[in-house]
Structure 1
């Protein structure tokens, strides 16, 4: 567990220092510009700026959530689809809510979401041979922390910086290896 705690703390610091949330928003904005040109907003009853803002929010929520990133990596490593199935059920209802304002444009977000999650799935397959069971368990625990933080944010109990916490998912395995193979040897 110490490696997971270090990963969450260091990963969040890295995310905050490089303003990762702003980068996700910029990326979503770039993806949504062509969509807003193709889809008329006059019939939706909202301004073009409001449409763009809602599309960026939806894109970040669907494509860059800790649950989705963790779920795709976890499925690639273990074959366990339960996180992605849970996310898809939640996304279905969330998309219906966004569709009330955005219309059918919200369905286009599935394209970048699919691309991102497939890349993460195959990346996990590439990483798997270099891991051990402790590293995978620490990865899952780190993903659990991000999912818990996401839940707190959804119910507005505590507004954790979820996008900025995502680097923890990258750091947890190297820190887990370092903890198990180097630091524990000094402690014992």
Structure 2
């Protein structure tokens, strides 16, 4: 029986990191809060590059990423994810009051960013689907290490609310994983490699965003993951 280890490890890392960061609070030196995200971003970039080099059909991969980004922009996917977090404002403020020094608006804005980062990141979605198709939780294990420290950094400012993000994160990853398990029999090694490459490009963009180099609209690129394998199959069939 297939046991989804990756999502549970990832969710546990976010919960523990969030609790630890909230407990430490502002005691963490400012220089660490500034420099660590850059290191996390670099790690995400390296992981993305390691996945990109596996590609089999470059035109199909690029086309899937471009068309997926266009779809994401047209339907305002990242903005919609942000609205979901905003609608949870009342519940969040009742259970997890904002830290002193943060206005309610600042708290919600930052919390929505955290929600998008942990629940809708290219790394998490790709990692969950990759485990469903290959049985390997390695991507989510690496993400868990990054998320442990990242959630801790955010929690120093936002408090214990950050730890609650593990609940929707685990639910989304398990759903994606079992959907990928159903898709697996219809794929071939080339399709999986191209799917991995699209995920790697999104992870590379995620790294730039985490490091503060370039705020790529990562969530809007996610439809490219759904197009990667169909485009790879069509490219193989037609050319």
Q: Point out the more displaced range, 65-74 or 44-53.
A: 44-53
2:139 corresponds to 1:83: yes
Superposed, which structure 2 residues align to 1:63-78 within 5 Å?
63-78=119-134
Asked whether the equivalents of residues 208 and 216 of structure 2 are also in contact (C-alpha less than 8 Å), the reply is yes
In 2, Cα distance between equivalents of 1:146 and 1:40: 34
Asked whether the equivalents of residues 68 and 223 of structure 2 are also in contact (C-alpha less than 8 Å), the reply is yes
Structure 1 residues 15 and 37: alpha-carbon distance in aligned structure 2, compared to 1, 3 A threshold: same
In 2, Cα distance between equivalents of 1:137 and 1:146: 14
The residue that corresponds to 2:20 in the other structure is none
**3-state SS of 1:124 partner:** helix
Q: Point out the more displaced range, 106-115 or 153-162.
A: 153-162
The offset of 1:158, in angstroms, is 2.9
The residue that corresponds to 1:27 in the other structure is 84
The residue that corresponds to 1:141 in the other structure is 197
Structure 1 residues 33 and 78: alpha-carbon distance in aligned structure 2, compared to 1, 3 A threshold: farther
In 2, Cα distance between equivalents of 1:108 and 1:156: 25
Asked whether the equivalents of residues 44 and 102 of structure 1 are also in contact (C-alpha less than 8 Å), the reply is no
Deviations 1:123-161 (A, max 9, x none): 110111111111101100111111111112222333322
The offset of 1:32, in angstroms, is 4.6
In 1, Cα distance between equivalents of 2:144 and 2:198: 21
**3-state SS of 2:130 partner:** helix
Asked whether the equivalents of residues 118 and 124 of structure 2 are also in contact (C-alpha less than 8 Å), the reply is yes
In 2, Cα distance between equivalents of 1:21 and 1:135: 26
Asked whether the equivalents of residues 96 and 160 of structure 2 are also in contact (C-alpha less than 8 Å), the reply is no
The offset of 1:15, in angstroms, is 0.8
- Structure showing greater relative contact order (alpha-carbon pairs closer than 8 Å, 6 or more residues apart): 2
Asked whether the equivalents of residues 15 and 163 of structure 1 are also in contact (C-alpha less than 8 Å), the reply is yes
Moved over 4 A (4+): none
Asked whether the equivalents of residues 44 and 103 of structure 1 are also in contact (C-alpha less than 8 Å), the reply is no
The residue that corresponds to 2:213 in the other structure is 157
**3-state SS of 2:131 partner:** helix
Q: What stretches of structure 2 of length at least 5 have no aligned partner?
A: 1-57
Asked whether the equivalents of residues 134 and 176 of structure 1 are also in contact (C-alpha less than 8 Å), the reply is yes
In 2, Cα distance between equivalents of 1:3 and 1:32: 41
TM-score (normalised: structure 2): 0.73
The offset of 1:34, in angstroms, is 1.4
